[in-house]
Every structure is written in structure tokens, then in C-alpha cells.
Amino acid sequence: MNILVTGASKGIGRAIATELLQLGNIFVTGRNEESLKTIGAQAYCVCDLSKDLSGLKTFIKENKIDVLINNAGEYIYGAIDSANSDDIDRIFTTNLLAPTKLISTAVPYMKEQKWGRIINIGSISGIMGEAYASLYSSSKAGLLGLTKALALELAEHNVTVNTINPGWVETELEMNSIEDGEFSQEEILECIPQKRFVKPEEVAKLCKYLISDDAKGITGQGINLCAGLSVGI
């Protein structure tokens, strides 16, 4: 199988790419070329998903991607009335429009060979909502609608589509977002039932399972991997 992981320079994306190295041919994208080089992937494509995707679309077609993991994401913390047009365009393009376009590019080959796996990395904020992160929450919520509709559309072609919704994950992006927010790390941990952050490797191992034949009956699902955060208090 030919697996593409977007946003693989660091964090969750890097953990996913590393975990899946033994499954097939790994292809990665990201903005940090030096980091992408060290993953050990079959090939990489340096790109910014908020900009021109023509090069990445060609990359997908040429490498016959049949497992697409849309991980790249953008996070902005702030009141809705402080968001400018550039912020809004960038976060929706990166988090929702780019994954949609990449799926559209990859699906013809999946249909042709009657097999494929699409995994979107969403967020628990797309399930529950997050004050002062309305752009992020709504863009991630959009992935769930896309997932459900495409699961129905592609089921007869043996292509599954699922979204993983991580809670607070121990990554540089998430730790920086805590610094930008109004709550301390200790206060956030107190709100998480398991009193811990999810590890990137947990998300990676769930991706590995969803790709496997054992998970062929799982499609159209939003799976919350959040240490109990989505259950309640």
C-alpha cells in the first residue's frame, strides 16, 4: 500500500508516519524539509496546505496513494471578532478545504483498485466546541460531515473513511496553545478524566488499526481519543 501522511514534520503526523513505516510505502508532506528527510519515507513533498496544492495533487497521482491520512492542521486562539479574513481563509483552507481536495484527488485510484483508506485527524473541539477557538472547532466539525457523507459514497468501492478526534495531545502545537490560552496546564489536566494528555503514539496506533483488514467494517465514524474528555464531568 502507498500511504500519504500530511503534516508529518512533527507531532501527531510524525508519530503516524513513523508507526506506519513497516506497512508499505510511506509518503509525507510538511513545511519543514529537514524534518521530513529524517523520517525515512519513500519520498516527501514540501508544501503549505493553505496555498497552491497543484504539486501535491500531482504527487498523489504519481505515487498512487491508496491510504490518505489528513493530519495537517492549523490552530488559532482568539475571539471571533478579532479574526481577520486571512486567519479565516488560512484555517478553513488548511483544516477542511485542503483535505477535501486531496481526497478528491486520491479517490479515483482507490475506486479503480477497489480498496482504500481515508483517515482524517479531527479534534475533540469539533465535537464539543471550544470557546475562543471557533474557527478551529468549526473547521474540524466540518471534517465529520465530510467523513459521514464520503463513507456512504465510497462504501461499495471498499473504501473506508473515518475521523479520529484527539483531545489534548502532548505535542509542541498543543503545549504552545496552552501558553496562549487562559488556563494553565494543571487546570486543563484537572478537567481530563484520566488526568493526562494523550500521546501522539496512541493516535498513530489507532491509524494503524483503521488501515488494517480487521477494521474494514468501521467507516463513517468519528472516534474520540481524548482520555475521557468528551464523556462529561
The catalytic site residues sit at 136
Helix (H) or strand (E) holding 54: helix 54-62
Q: Three-class SS of residue 107?
A: helix
Helix axes 134-154, 85-92, angle to 10 degrees: 30
Which residues are CB-neighbours of 231 under 8 A, at least 6 positions away? 193
Report the amino acid identity of residue 128.
M
Q: Of 182, 47, 31, which Cα lies nearest the Cα of 102?
A: 47
C-alpha span between 70 and 142 (Å, rounded): 13
Integer angstrom CA distances of residue 143 from 20, 110, 164, 165, 182: 23, 20, 10, 10, 27
Q: Three-class SS of residue 73?
A: coil
Provide φ and ψ at 198, rounded to 5°. Answer: -70, 145
CB 188 within 8 A of CB 146: no
C-alpha span between 176 and 174 (Å, rounded): 5
Beta strands in 122-198 (DSSP E): 159-166
